[in-house]
């Protein structure tokens, strides 16, 4: 769900490299093409050294583009954009789009739009389409995968919606809900085969694609 700017790439790299120095030579270098601190924190769970770089990709949906297609296209575009600057590395790109009956719901940006989104989603099932791409230009490796997460929202009162938004302010989150925070109280159920996908980076799929790209995950 969430996407917010995190540490500056140089700060993130120095922190992660020092923590993971014993594994710095474990296969191909890794670059995360994202400014999301949530994705950076998730990738850090793998204890791999990695760089962080902003992909600077236009995320405007194309006309009539379905949410899963949008997520796949943007994840690959982000990975390709950063891979062009790091051709020898395995570059990770990811994107998430909330899918309400085939309509993409992006980050609300404002309180009013977040209220509107949650009113529409309350009592309904929303599929959070989380796409992942890994690209290595040097070897011609390029793969994209999708981790759909089915989320059932409770029936919510306007008072609950207002109180939640004032407390969490999730205006940079697709679908206006942060499941790793108070947003979990808005939900009835979560159905996913990749537990971290809803937060923004499906680590099971990430591991699979990194291995395929030549990254040694367990020395």
Q: Annotated active-site positions, please?
A: 95
**Phi, psi (rounded to 5 degrees) for 167:** -80, -45
Q: Which two tokens stand for residue 126?
A: 């929303």
Per DSSP bridges, beta strands 103-105 and 90-100 are: antiparallel
Rounded CA-CA distance 57/17 in Å is 26
| DSSP line for 135-154 | EETTTTEEEEEEEEEEEEEP
């Amino acid at each position: 769900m969430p996407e917010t700017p995190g540490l500056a790439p140089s700060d993130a790299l120095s922190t992660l490299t020092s923590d993971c120095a014993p594994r710095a030579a474990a296969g191909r270098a890794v670059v995360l093409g994202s400014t999301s601190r949530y994705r950076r924190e998730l990738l850090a769970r793998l204890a791999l050294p990695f760089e962080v770089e902003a992909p600077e990709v236009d995320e405007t949906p194309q006309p009539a583009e379905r949410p899963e297609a949008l997520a796949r296209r943007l994840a690959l575009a982000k990975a390709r954009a950063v891979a062009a600057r790091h051709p020898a590395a395995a570059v990770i790109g990811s994107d998430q789009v909330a899918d309400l009956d085939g309509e993409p719901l992006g980050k609300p940006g404002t309180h009013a739009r977040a209220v509107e989104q949650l009113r529409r989603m309350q009592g309904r099932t929303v599929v959070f389409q989380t796409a992942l791409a890994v690209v290595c230009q040097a070897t011609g490796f390029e793969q994209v995968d999708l981790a759909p997460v089915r989320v059932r929202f409770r029936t919510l009162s306007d008072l609950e919606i207002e109180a939640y938004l004032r407390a969490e302010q999730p205006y940079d989150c697709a679908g206006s809900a942060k499941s790793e925070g108070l947003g979990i109280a808005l939900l009835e159920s979560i159905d996913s085969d990749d537990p971290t996908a809803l937060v923004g980076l499906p680590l099971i799929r990430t591991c699979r694609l990194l291995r395929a790209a030549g990254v040694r995950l367990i020395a």
